[in-house]
């Protein structure tokens, strides 16, 4: 008996929608990363990008547990001397709430060539309105 190997031409990218209101960041990011990579499908093959499109709405209503709004710190560097930028999760949420979800999902995807391709299929919106009604997205279980 041979192991099934999916071909690139056989891939089908479905559309899913997720409501982030009242959900924890980590739990939501795991579900999104799994759908983007295609691991929830029976036809998953490691070297084929078979992930789906995910639309996240209400990103500004995401929750974090405990004191993480003030204790969770995000670092980035500009590349110049003394260019370390530090922001708490609350500061990131106030400016760009979609970046909290994007950064959490990015950390859960593998660091290879397919990561940027998979992240391009992630659409995050702060309100309930989104321009992807024509794709008829289903609820992500």
pTM: 0.92
Domain span at residue 110 reads 13-139
Give pLDDT, residue 141: 82
Largest CA distance in the chain: 60
**2 located within any domain:** no
Domain CATH code at residue 38: 3.90.1180.10
Residue 6 located in a structural domain: no
pLDDT of residue 65: 93
Q: Identify whether 74 is part of a domain.
A: yes
> Would you say residue 56 has pLDDT above 90?
yes
The answer to whether residue 18 is domain-embedded is yes
Number of structural domains (the chain) is 1
Closest Cα partner for 6 from 46, 33, 34, 63?
46
């Amino acid at each position: 008996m041979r192991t099934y190997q999916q071909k690139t031409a056989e891939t089908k990218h479905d559309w899913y929608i997720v409501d982030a209101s009242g959900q924890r960041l980590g739990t939501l990011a795991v579900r999104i990363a799994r759908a983007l990579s295609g691991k929830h499908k029976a036809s998953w093959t490691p070297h084929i990008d078979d992930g789906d499109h995910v639309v996240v709405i209400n990103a500004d209503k995401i929750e974090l547990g405990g004191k993480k709004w003030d204790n969770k710190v995000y670092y980035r560097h500009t590349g110049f001397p003394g260019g370390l930028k530090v922001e708490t999760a609350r500061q990131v949420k106030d400016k760009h709430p979609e970046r909290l979800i994007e950064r959490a999902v990015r950390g859960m995807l593998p660091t290879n060539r397919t990561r940027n391709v998979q992240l391009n299929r992630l659409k995050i919106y702060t309100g309930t309105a989104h321009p992807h009604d024509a794709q008829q997205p289903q609820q992500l279980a």
